[in-house]
Structure formats: C-alpha cells, structure tokens
Structure 1
Amino acid sequence: MSTEDPIEQLPRGIALAWGVAATPQRGPKREMSVERIVDAAIEIADNDGIQAVSMSAVAKRLGYTPMSLYRYVSAKDDLLLLMQEEATGLPPESEGVENWRTRLEELYEAQSQVYLTQPWLLSLSIMGSPITPNSSAWLDASLEALHDTPLTQDERIAVSIFVTGAARWKGTVFAGYEDQKRATGLNDSELAQQESQLFDAVITDDGYPSLRRAIDAGVFTSEADPFAFGFECGLDGLAEYIDRVSRERGDGPSAAAGMIAETASEAGESSVSGATLPVEETSGVEQSVVTDDDPEVAADKKYRESQKAVRQAQKVLAEARKRERQTLREAKERIAKRR
C-alpha cells in the first residue's frame, strides 16, 4: 500500500476503531484480541467506575500480564477511545420516521439512554469532532434527519450539536444525582426534599426574588421534566426558523408549522412527567425506553445483560463493515498494480 495512503496516517486508537490497524502476529497462546480487552475494560467501568480502569486491572481480569495488552492496545488513551466507541454503539434505525423533528427526538432519547445506562462515558474528555465509526454514525443520523430541510450544512451541524449536547447535559445531571443517592442512601423523593430545604434555608426574597418564587412554587420537588421541555422548545424554534427560511427562499410553505401543532400535546405531556416522552408517541419506539429512564432499571442485571447482547450484535455489524473496508482496499490495490 502506498505510504501516502491517509489510512496509514491515522492515530493508533482511531485506526483500531475503524479496524484498519495492524494486529500483532505473535501474542499469548490463549486467544487475545482488541475486542476482548475492550469488553473487559467496559465491565470494569460498569461495575466500579471509569477510575477503576487501568491496563493492569484489565490484564488481571483477563488473566494476562499488562505487557501482553500493550501489544494490542498500546496506550490507555486508545483503550478509553475504544471503550467509548463500543459503549456508544450505533444510533437506532429510523423505523420509517417521516419528518426531521420526530427523528431528532428519537436520537435525543436514544443518546440520553446511552448516558443513563453507562454514565462513566460522561467522565471521558471530548477530544474534538467524532472520527470513530459509531460516533460518526450518530452525527450522520442527525444530518440525515435534516436532509430535506432548507438548512445549510453549517446549520445542520449546529442542530446536531444541540441534540447531542442536550442529551449529554441530561445524562450529566442524572449521573450527579445518582452519585448523591449512593453517597447519602436517599431515594429520589428524599433527595429532592433535601435539596429544596437547602435552597429554602439560604435563598431569601430580598436577595433572590425570582428564585424564591420558584422555590415557593415547588420546582425542586416537581415531577415536571425540564429536559424534555427545554428540548421541545428548541425544536419549536428550529421549526419556525425552517418555516421562515423556506418562505424567504420561495420554496413554498414548509411542514414545520404543522409539526409544531402535531407535537404540541406530546411536548406538554412530557413537561408534566418524565415518565412520558414525545419519542414514544411519535416514533414507534418500544415503551421499555421510557422505563429505562429510571436509573434503578438501568442498573438491573437482566437489562444490562440485554444491553451487552445489543453491543455484541453491533460488534458483528462492525466486523462485517471492517471486512467490507478491507476487501475494498485490496480491490483498489489490485487495480492499481494492474495499471
């Protein structure tokens, strides 16, 4: 292969994620692979948190020496990248979604679930734009949802970042509350009451009048879902913007205004209780997605096993894509040699 091939210039971790990095020809007698190393690291993170993941801990879990692992994954940063790639998985299929709003709602809920079920992902630094296969697939899915809109490519990227950021922020807040629950032994209701009492003790009407009124209204013990409400408001604004751009460019009336009306009731419903979210009403996603919003369900052993099975299926798909890319490169090399 030509030394100028950009594939050869990829950092080791990214090359491993795409399945284009060379693997050791020699190694431990027992079967060893990058996939096994990553799986073991994820199990450690799931059980003990990301801080417990180290090359030595993973090696011990697999019954090897740390040096054996370095033959496959040469740096911990590469291992963390591969863990993030596998835990993130692929975005859900569109399931016949017909408009951009419903699809973005679906992607928002699915990304939220990733962070709710594996909150250790939130501890990993964001190192620029997504370049790995699964991360790129999520970005591609958001952009595809906006394909038939009049938005520019820059605007579509901005919307994709908005969706991902909203899901990540929701996951961050939920993860923080879960840490508090573990540390204090309090349940959701008790924790909300404690938080409200702390605010009540220090927030005065003369110093923070607006916040005082919110506290008196019971916002910290309310069952309303501020994340769903905020996200839906963002989509409302986007729908109006798309409608305006369509009119200004002479494309005729868009479906944006209609979609606002169609989803108004679902958005209102989601703002009343976190148990009902718009995606379940509009995209045909199974109702189990709603119950997963409960961190106790997310931690359930059988549920985690089913998530592992999903990751295994995604791994098979990734392996098939890896073989496809390899055969494509080989075909190009054969053609180049004949020329």
Structure 2
Amino acid sequence: MSADHSPAGEPARMLELLWGTASPPSRGPKPALSLAKIVDAAVQIADAEGLAALSMRRVAEELGFTTMSLYRYVSGKEDLLELMQDAAAAPPPDVDLDSMPDDWRGAARWWATHNIEMFRRHPWFMDIPLSGPPMGPNQVRWMDRLLGALAGTGLSPGEKMGVLTLLSTWALSAGRLELSIMEGASRTGVEPDDWDPLYGQLLSKVVEAEEFPALAEILTAGIFSGPEPDGDEGNTADQPGDPEGAEFSDDLTFGLEVILDGVEALIARRMTTSGRDSASKP
C-alpha cells in the first residue's frame, strides 16, 4: 500500500483498516495472528487494567508473538486505539439493534442510554482523544439506526445529523462525569450515592441567604437530601425502551429528557411549517 501524504490520506488509510479492506500483510504467521485478534487482546487489557497498561509490546506478549509481528497488521498504538473504539461499539450479545423502539423519542432514549452502557463496559473509551468523526462499521451502524429512527419527523438531513451529534455529546459528557465521580470515590472516600446529602449538609454550613439567595433557596427546599421533585424526570430505567436493568441518576435522566423535549419542539415546528407550506400550495 503506497503512502498517501494528502490531507485525506490518513483517514482513508484508517478507513481501510476499520472496514477490513486493507491489503493483508505479505509476511508473518497469517493463520495464527490477525488484526481482529490483536484488537480483541488490546480491548481485554484495557478493560481489565485501563489504557495505561496498554502497549504494543503488552499486546504482543498476551498473544505470544513478537512486537514486530503486530506492526505487520497495524502501524502503531494510535491506529490500534481507533480500532479498539470501534470494537467497543459492537453490540454485546444481549443487545439486539432491531429491538430499538419504533417511536423516535423512545428510540433516541434507547440509543443514548446504550451509549452510556457502552462507556460503562469500556471506560477507557472516553480517555482516547477524538481524532475525527466515527468511521468504523460498528459506530456507523449505530449512527444509521438513530438517523433511521428520525425518518418521518420532518427534520432535514442536516437537522437529523445535528440531533445525532447532540445525543452523542450528551452521552460522552455524561459518561465522563459518571466515571470521574466513581474514580473520585477512591480519593475522597465518598461513594457517588452519598454525595448529594453530604453536599447539602456541607453547603448549608457556609451558604448565607443574603449572599447566595438562589442557592439558599435550593438548599432550603431540600433538593440534595429531600424527596425527588415532581415531574416526568426519574430513573431512565423506568422509561420505555431503555436497556433492561440500566440505572441512571436523576441528573442524567433530566438532562436527556430536556434534550429530547427540545428535539420534540423542533419536530413540531417543522411539522407546522410543512403543514402551512402544503396548505399554501394551489
């Protein structure tokens, strides 16, 4: 494969690796080693020990090959990380993409919460800097499912992509926040579920109503330690179309539902505009 130094050369080379269209190595122990085995071993190491433990040498040792053997299939760790991200996006055996709800909102909720579940299975995914839009077959398949769920909403193709980007950003941000809080438990000694009441107690000692009136109102209402507020928010596990047994905090639920409310308002606006346009035609 000849080197391509054009701006699109590197993404094009990565696309070949992700989709398996690159020319196979002409040398090396072909029957015993493959790109799929290399990626699978790397994912297992990262799942068990995190990205800090991952190196080309470590993967080679796990597979029983020399490090140079790996370089016949993948040019380096950066390529391997991108391949790992797409491998992590593969639906687990208990997830059927065809089980996604038929209504756009249920489908969007299902799609977004399954992204969170993927981050929980592979937390190292969020430690890899994004180098561009997703190009691998697994990530592209997830994209296609959400875009398909938005068919018939009246949104333009660009707006559908905007909704996908918005939900992807929410899931990634929520996943990173959740992981940071969980990792912080080992440093602070406070478990994630214990933070709200403790936070309310600590702030109550220093927040004066005259200086911080808005926050004092929140504390007085017992938001951090009292019953859940009334409304549609709540655990997303109670929402139709969510991963079975999934548990999400009220904050995650609230944020996702507000986003979906906004998308619903946009869809209603597009439907109204479409109706007016149709009525104005002779």
TM-score in same-fold range (> 0.5): yes
Q: Give ranges in structure 1 of 5+ residues lacking alignment.
A: 254-339
Give the Cα separation in 2 of the matches to 1:237 and 1:180.
32
Does 2:106 align with 1:102?
yes
Does 2:138 align with 1:138?
no
Give the 3-state SS of the residue equivalent to 1:249 in structure 2: helix
Q: Taking every aligned residue pair, what percent have the same amino acid on both sides?
A: 34
Offset, 1:203: 4.0
Q: Which residue is equivalent to 2:270?
A: 245
Give the Cα separation in 2 of the matches to 1:186 and 1:180.
8
Offset, 1:233: 2.1
- CA change 1:190–1:147 in 2 (3 A) is closer
Q: Which residue is equivalent to 1:111?
A: 115
Letter aligned with residue 139 of structure 1: M
Q: Kindly tell me the number of residue pairs found equivalent between the two proteins.
A: 250
Give the Cα separation in 1 of the matches to 2:177 and 2:155.
31
- CA change 1:26–1:251 in 2 (3 A) is farther
Kindly provide the CA deviation profile for residues 50-103 of structure 1, in whole angstroms up to 9, marking residues without a partner as x. Answer: 222111121122222221111111111100001000001148524373321111
Q: Give ranges in structure 2 of 5+ residues lacking alignment.
A: 229-233, 235-249
Give the Cα separation in 2 of the matches to 1:162 and 1:49.
27
Does 2:68 align with 1:43?
no
Offset, 1:30: 7.1
Offset, 1:193: 4.1
Give the Cα separation in 1 of the matches to 2:121 and 2:222.
29
- CA change 1:124–1:98 in 2 (3 A) is same
Letter aligned with residue 258 of structure 2: C
Instruction: Report if the CA contact (8 A) 2:112-2:168 is conserved.
Output: yes
Q: Which residue is equivalent to 2:62?
A: 61
Letter aligned with residue 145 of structure 2: A
Match of 1:226 among 251, 263, 268: 251
Instruction: Report if the CA contact (8 A) 1:24-1:71 is conserved.
Output: yes
Instruction: Report if the CA contact (8 A) 1:13-1:79 is conserved.
Output: no
- CA change 1:204–1:88 in 2 (3 A) is farther
Does 2:172 align with 1:168?
yes
Q: Which residue is equivalent to 1:181?
A: 185
Give the Cα separation in 2 of the matches to 1:201 and 1:25.
70
Kindly provide the CA deviation profile for residues 125-155 of structure 1, in whole angstroms up to 9, marking residues without a partner as x. Answer: 1222222211212221121111111111111
- CA change 1:29–1:110 in 2 (3 A) is closer
Offset, 1:121: 0.8
Offset, 1:194: 4.1
Give the Cα separation in 2 of the matches to 1:9 and 1:233.
38
Q: Which residue is equivalent to 1:303?
A: none
Offset, 1:25: 2.6
Give the Cα separation in 1 of the matches to 2:10 and 2:182.
41
Offset, 1:38: 0.9
Q: Which residue is equivalent to 2:241?
A: none
Q: Greater CA deviation, 97-106 or 69-78?
A: 97-106
Match of 2:209 among 195, 205, 208: 205
Give the Cα separation in 1 of the matches to 2:87 and 2:197.
37
Q: Which residue is equivalent to 2:156?
A: 152
Offset, 1:44: 1.2
Give the Cα separation in 2 of the matches to 1:220 and 1:171.
21
Offset, 1:201: 4.8
Give the Cα separation in 2 of the matches to 1:78 and 1:54.
12
Give the Cα separation in 1 of the matches to 2:28 and 2:156.
50
TM-score by length of 2: 0.77
Q: Which residue is equivalent to 1:89?
A: 90
Offset, 1:231: 1.5
- CA change 1:251–1:100 in 2 (3 A) is farther
Instruction: Report if the CA contact (8 A) 1:116-1:174 is conserved.
Output: no
- CA change 1:201–1:245 in 2 (3 A) is same
Would you tell me which structure has more helix in proportion to its own residues? 1
TM-score by length of 1: 0.65
Instruction: Report if the CA contact (8 A) 1:151-1:242 is conserved.
Output: yes
Instruction: Report if the CA contact (8 A) 2:18-2:135 is conserved.
Output: no
Give the 3-state SS of the residue equivalent to 1:32 in structure 2: coil
Letter aligned with residue 157 of structure 2: Q
